[in-house]
Amino acid sequence: MVLKLRAAALATRERRRNVAALARECRAERLRPLLVLPEGARAADGGELAREALATAGSDLLAARLAVALGAVRCEVWGEAAGLFTAGPEPLPSARLVRALDFEEAQELTAAAAEPVFDPRALAPLASAGVPLHLRSIDLPAASGTVVAKTPPPEGPRVKAISVRRGVTLVALDTARMWREVGFLADVFACFARHGLSIDAVSSSGTNLTVSLDPTAPARDPAVVAALLADLLERGDARLIGPAAALSLVGRGIRAILHELAPVLELFEELEVHLLTQSASDLALTVVVDEAESERLARDLHGLLFQHVAEGPLFGPTWEELHAGRRGCAALGAAGGESAGEEPPWWGARRAELLALAAERGPLYVYDAAGLETAARSLLALPALDRLFYAVKANHHPGVLALFARLGLGFECVSAAELEHVRAALPGLEPARLLFTPSFAPRGEYERALALGARVTVDNLHPLAAWPEIFAGRDLFLRLDPGRGRGHHPHVRTAGAQSKFGLSGGELERLPPLLARAGARVVGLHAHAGSGIRAAESWGDIARFLAAAAARFPRLAALDVGGGLGVPERPGQRPLDLAALDAGLARVKRAQAARSPGLELWLEPGRYLVARAGVLLARVAQLKEKGGVTYVGVETGMNSLLRPALYGAHHPIVNLSRLGEPATMTAHVVGPICETGDVLGRSRRLAPAAEGDVLLIANAGAYGRVMSSRYNLREPAGEWLLA
């Protein structure tokens, strides 16, 4: 007998009807020992009690109990996920299906996951009875899924998956009382119990105890946590650490391969590790770090551990291979930066033109004018915004600048050279449409910007203190530090104590005499949290922060909330909600209307306007098989597109020459640069490539050509604007 319960496909009422019907067919005496009965209930109530208990159980646990009770040879749980993967698939489309695990490994992996694909409580009854669990997908019924059994296929000690759990709160207690005091830890743990807090992981030394809290409701209640800290302060110096994230390497025999994990541990070299634990069962090694580092770290860890893994008995296809469809353009919908329901990528309809350009001009960045205009108009239509300034550093192609100038955008420049470039491309541009926001620029650049009539932003007291004469009688913007950086990678977060940008609150106290000495006036405030942000509330938060500082400056005319608007990069990522962004800014504007009538809100989009409108075309130069891994080498690499090497950025890649053919090849796409990091994409699913085929790298319109170099004396890709 095989028991199948398609849990995700059944509505609650329908599920209960099916379960009740099944319970009526079961012998009550076989089910009764497996039921968890309500307090005070009598087990003698046979079938009716069985039906009620089963009908209200969780679907995965229900399936497990019924499988055991009925003597099933296998329990299949059908849900949305295709099984367990080597990592969470949303940020890592290259994560591979794990075909087989034993019960203890599966228990460790699901218990460590933020959102397990099935209820880990279901494993205990199945393991006790020796009934294998088979995880299958309703959406992908042909996929093999994951089998959890007592004896999976023989494999030596190895890491089989990475689990990431964010939103972790740590409690640290420093005290000398721990040393040789009998019962001290029992007393401390009793404090947690009194406040209803469950402890997840524990690390201790002679004078320190650090624990992570299970993310239950009490752990999310500030009042409960505050009460706990008050109790612990009677026993030592207690403090909270967070938000943090726990990254677990899961697999049997971790201790036996610690020497092989040296390259993995090097990734933590510059990070603050708050907690390090190794499970007594030898099934997991867990590291707790700052939550902001977790996504990048998970990507890097997965690359080191699984980039050379080939499909076989233990590991199956990647998440991308399973979900991205089987054909080029259609398969790339979400992966190309489009979300469900949006139009297919623009380059699919212009394939012939792109192939002709690649044949004629070699490696080439190509920009779609219609896509540029669509992106700009989507922001121009937001009622709360008064002005848009395009961040020139994202893409300074003259045709791109001319298009945005025609639409009425201003231009935000970070160097005198960018100012000169804009003036040369747009000779009739009004000076008021130039915004200069330098960082640690020399005096001459400020002087040149002022001479050109650009609006100048100061983010450091040094220029005002050292060169007051150049600001005499000038209107200035101040860049303030909002205190917390955001963005897709640590290198693009531009706020906080570790960031070089912006004036801190303490520096504002020293500002008035410097302004008076220079005879300068502050007419605008600016802040920028980072880049690649898709959380719509970010800009409302920035606006509120700036509005709180506005009372210091009576001549204020504008609040510039910066840029950093992100676009989807990976399958499953949601696009930025522009309506929510606008609503957040509108609330701030309404609140400021009485105090500062006419105060404008400005935005500085860069990547959002150009990323999806650009692609990089590169022809295949060579192919190579090595250790079960296929490499597709193209004619340009990190000298043209640095983002994957610098940020671990994900750019969708498709074989444009064979668009529409089945994507049956899994390969690393690499360039010709003499660096190990010259990888444009790992474990990408492509239509089989051959020398001369043209690969298209999508979402490449921003920070591509502008960051290119002649490293190895190789010329970077050129540029072309498609009207």
Alpha helices in 382-477 (DSSP H): 398-406, 416-425, 443-451, 461-466
At residue 44, the pLDDT reads: 40
pLDDT of residue 193 exceeding 70, the answer is yes
Q: Is the pLDDT of residue 509 over 70?
A: yes
By mean pLDDT, which of 33-42, 378-387, 512-521 is the weakest? 33-42
- Check pLDDT > 60 for residue 49: no
For residue 697, the model assigns a pLDDT of 98
Average pLDDT across the chain, whole number:
84
User: Read out DSSP for 508-538?
Assistant: HHTHHHHHHHHT-EEEEEE---BSSB--THH
Fill in the DSSP letter of residue 287.
E
DSSP string, 596-665: STT-EEEE--SHHHHSTTEEEEEEEEEEEEETTEEEEEES--TTT--HHHHH-----EEEGGGTTSB--E
Question: Does residue 164 have a pLDDT over 70?
Answer: yes
- Work out the percent of the chain whose per-residue pLDDT is above 90: 42
At 470, is the pLDDT very low, low, confident or very high (cuts 50, 70, 90)?
A: very high
pTM of the full structure: 0.66
**Low-confidence winner among 15-29, 230-244, 623-637 (lowest mean pLDDT):** 15-29
- CA neighbor of 137 nearest in space, from 15, 307, 317: 317
Whether pLDDT at 447 is above 90: yes
Burial label, 362 (beta-carbon count in 10 A; 0-12, 13-18, 19+): middle
Phi, psi (deg, nearest 5) at residue 553: -125, 95
pLDDT for the residue numbered 1: 47
Q: What is the CA 510 to chain-centroid distance, rounded?
A: 38
Q: How far apart are CA 32 and CA 46, in angstroms?
A: 7
- Given a cut of 60, is residue 255 above it in pLDDT? yes
Taking CA atoms, 524 is separated from 434, 476, 573, in Å, by 14, 7, 34
Mean pLDDT throughout 374-395?
97
Q: From CA 364, how far away is CA 372, in angstroms rounded?
A: 18
pLDDT band at 6 (very low <50, low <70, confident <90, very high): very low
The full 3-state SS of 95-116, as one line of letters, equals: CEEECEEEHHHHHHHHHHCCCC
Q: How confident is the model at residue 385 (pLDDT cuts 50, 70, 90)?
A: very high
Please tell me which of 321-335, 507-521, 707-721 the model is most confident about, judged by mean pLDDT.
707-721
Distance from C-alpha of 288 to C-alpha of 280, rounded to nearest angstrom: 17
| Span 647-674, pLDDT tens digits | 878 899 999 999 999 888 889 999 999 9
User: Is 219 in contact with 78 (CB distance < 8 Å)?
Assistant: no
pLDDT at 455 over 90: yes
For the stretch 286-331, pLDDT in tens is: 899 888 888 878 888 887 788 667 677 888 888 877 875 433 444 4
More confident residue, 324 or 362: 362
Among the residues of 412-503, which ranges form H helices?
416-425, 443-451, 461-466
Q: pLDDT at residue 525 above 50?
A: yes
Residues contacting 256, CB < 8 A, separation 6+: 157
Burial (CB count <10 Å: 0-12, 13-18, 19+), residue 205: exposed
Mean pLDDT in residue range 262-282: 79
* pLDDT at residue number 4: 55
What is the band of 551 on the pLDDT scale with cuts at 50, 70, 90?
Answer: confident
* E strand intervals along 61-191: 74-79, 96-98, 100-102, 133-137, 146-149, 161-174
**List of residues 6+ apart from 201 with CB closer than 8 A:** 211, 212, 246, 275, 277, 286, 288
Residue 349's contacts (CB-CB under 8 Å, 6 or more residues apart) are: none
Q: What is the pLDDT of residue 91?
A: 63
* pLDDT, position 157: 85
**Least confident piece of the model among 2-16, 133-147, 326-340, 548-562:** 326-340
Tally: H helices and E strands in the chain = 24, 29
pLDDT band at 216, cuts 50/70/90? low
Cα–Cα distance list, 330 to 80, 338, 344, 355, 475 (Å): 21, 11, 8, 18, 52
pLDDT, tens digit, 9 for 90 and up, residues 402-440: 999 999 999 999 999 999 999 999 999 999 999 999 999
**Cα separation, 660 vs 344, whole angstroms:** 13
Arithmetic mean of pLDDT, 195-201: 85
Mean pLDDT of 109-138: 85
**Given 26, 329, 413, 674, the catalytic residue:** 674
Q: Is 674 a known active-site residue?
A: yes
CA distances from 523 to 127, 355, 430, 467 (A): 69, 50, 19, 19
Checking if the pLDDT of 45 tops 80, the result is no
Q: Residues 542, 561: contact at Cβ < 8 Å?
A: yes
Reduced 3-state DSSP string for 550-593: HHHCCCCCEEECCCCECCCCCCCCCCCCHHHHHHHHHHHHHHHH
Residue 274 has pLDDT above 70, yes or no: yes
Going by pLDDT thresholds of 50, 70 and 90, the confidence category of residue 270 is low
pLDDT of residue 300: 80
Mean pLDDT of 465-487: 87
E strand spans, 251-308: 275-278, 284-290
Measured CA to CA, the distance from residue 64 to residue 124 in angstroms comes to 9
Report pLDDT digits (tens) over 119-130. 888 899 999 999
Per-residue pLDDT band for 461 (boundaries 50, 70, 90) equals very high
- The per-residue pLDDT for 34 is 44
Specify the pLDDT at position 481. Answer: 84
Pairwise pLDDT comparison (356 vs 272), residue with the higher score: 356
User: Which range is most confident: 202-206, 425-429, 554-558?
Assistant: 425-429
